[in-house]
Amino acid sequence: MPKRLAIVTSAIALMLAPAAIVACGDDSGDSAAKPKSNGQAAQGETLEKGVTLTLWTMPNSPQPKEDLQKMVAPFTAKTGVNADVQEVGWDVQFDRIRNAAVAGEGPDITQAGTTQVPFFAALGGFTDLSDRVEEIGGKGAYAEGIWNTTQVQGQDGTWAIPWFTEARSLYYRKDVLEKAGVDPATAFKDLDSFKATLQAIKDKVPDIKPFGAPGKKAYDLVHQVMPFVWDHGGAELNADATKSTINAPEAQQGVEFMADLITDGLFDKSQLERDGTQVENQFKGGRLAVWIGGPWVLGSVDRPEDDTWSDEARENVGVAPMPTGPSGKAYTFVGGSDLMVFKSSKHPAEAWALVKFLSEDQTQVDYAKLLGMFPARLDPQQQVGDSSENHKAFFEAIQTGRTYASIPQWGQIENAYKTRFGNILDSAAGVGSDYNAATVKSQLDAAAKEADGLLAQSAG
- 460 residues of the chain, pLDDT tens digit each: 333 344 343 444 444 444 444 455 333 333 344 554 444 555 557 899 999 999 999 999 889 999 999 999 999 999 999 999 999 998 899 999 999 999 999 999 999 999 999 999 999 999 999 999 999 999 999 998 899 999 999 899 999 999 999 999 999 999 999 999 999 999 999 999 999 999 999 999 999 999 999 998 888 899 999 999 999 999 999 999 999 999 999 999 999 999 999 999 999 999 999 999 999 999 999 999 999 999 999 988 888 888 999 999 999 999 999 999 998 899 999 999 999 999 999 999 999 999 999 999 999 999 998 898 999 999 999 999 999 999 999 999 998 899 999 999 999 999 999 999 999 999 999 998 899 999 999 999 999 999 999 999 865 5
Check whether residue 121 and residue 183 sit in a common domain: no
401 domain residue, yes or no:
no
Check whether residue 138 and residue 83 sit in a common domain: yes
The 8-class DSSP code of residue 333 comes to B
Check whether residue 281 and residue 148 sit in a common domain: no
44 domain residue, yes or no:
no
396 domain residue, yes or no:
no
Check whether residue 231 and residue 327 sit in a common domain: yes
* Paired strand residues for 87: 57
The 8-class DSSP code of residue 305 comes to T
5 domain residue, yes or no:
no
317 domain residue, yes or no:
yes
Check whether residue 296 and residue 190 sit in a common domain: yes
By three-state DSSP, how is residue 452 classified? helix
Check whether residue 65 and residue 110 sit in a common domain: yes
Check whether residue 62 and residue 130 sit in a common domain: yes
Cβ atoms of 98 and 342 closer than 8 Å: no
45 domain residue, yes or no:
no
Check whether residue 132 and residue 275 sit in a common domain: no
Question: What separation in angstroms does the CA of 162 have from each of 41, 56, 409, 459?
Answer: 19, 15, 20, 29
By three-state DSSP, how is residue 44 classified? coil
pTM of the model: 0.86
Check whether residue 163 and residue 179 sit in a common domain: no
Check whether residue 221 and residue 325 sit in a common domain: yes
Per-residue model confidence (pLDDT) at position 302: 83
Alpha-carbon gap, residue 368 to 364, rounded angstroms: 6
Domain hosting 254: range is: 169-332+408-456
Check whether residue 414 and residue 438 sit in a common domain: yes
Overall domain count for the chain: 2
Rg (CA), the chain: 22
CATH number (domain holding residue 324) = 3.40.190.10
Per-residue model confidence (pLDDT) at position 299: 83
